[in-house]
Chains A and B, each alone.
Chain A
Amino acid sequence: MDAPFRVVLIDDDPDLRKLLKMTLEFTAGWEVNTAADGASGIDVVRAVKPDIALVDVMMPDIDGYEVCRRLKADPETTEVPVVFITARRALDEEKVKEVQAAGVIIKPFDPEGLADQLRAFVHGEGG
């Protein structure tokens, strides 16, 4: 069995944070750390050095694209794959490429398939 992934989840909605965290914990046995905004999320990623960061795009203050930019610009976190989670209407595909995100999950997410999708992005298989 693969070692459990460590995920940092950054999303400003408390109910969605709970749902995503529980989904990954229960369907895949992953360790999930959370943050409610971009700035504290960046701090958590630096502290945890997760296998993947799952980041909401449309957050107040620092949006997901800026979170990804800052993580990629920091040598301590540049290797952490960042996957966005967002509504299709909010997706800017050019920005996703520009900030070098590893992939995008479109809301609503598939609870049964979420872990597999994230694993594929980490291994460079998703798209």
Chain B
Amino acid sequence: MSRPNSEAMGDPDDLIAQVFREFREGLSERIDTLARALDSLEGGYDVEAAELFYRTAHSLKGAAPSFDADELVDSCSLLSELGLQWREAGFVAADELASAAVEIARLREAVAGYQTRMEGKGRRE
């Protein structure tokens, strides 16, 4: 199996472990982005906030399985669907905002569980 300039680039396993670590470390910021977008929408419909909410949830939903983070997918799917609905409807109902807040809290718990699990594993296997 050929490796391009592996000595110059470093150990591949270490570099891929670093990408996994960056994903883990970036999860809080992704969720904070969702929470900030939701706060904005609670103040009144804002198309940019709806778009940011949708894109953030959708992106995390797509990336999670490849980082062994399946436990995040269900919450991200629900949040992504809400965001898409808001973007297309141009309107956010109060009960939907409440559902989104609950789901973000669930996502934070799922992230905490994932981070604990992955830190317990150490390097990516």
Residues of chain A at the chain B interface (Cβ within 8 Å): 1, 4, 12-13, 15-16, 18-20, 22-23, 25-29, 56, 58, 60, 86-87, 107-109, 111
Contact = CB atoms under 8 A, between A and B. Distances in A.
Interface stretch (B32-40, B61-69, B88-96): B61-69
Interface stretch (B14-22, B98-106, B107-115): B14-22
Contacts of B19: 15, 18-19, 22
Given A13-B59, A107-B62, A22 B2 contact: no
B62 A26 contact: no
Contacts of B26: 15
Interface of B: 1-4, 6, 9, 12, 15-16, 19-20, 22-23, 26, 51, 54-55, 58-63, 65-68
Nearest to A32: B4
Contacts, number: 66
Contacts of A20: 66
Q: Which of B54, B58, B62 has the most CB of A within 10 A?
A: B62
A58 B55 CA distance: 10
Contacts of A4: 2, 4
Given A27-B1, A87-B65, A108-B66, A15 B23 contact: yes
B62 A18 contact: no
Nearest to A16: B63
A25 B4 contact: yes
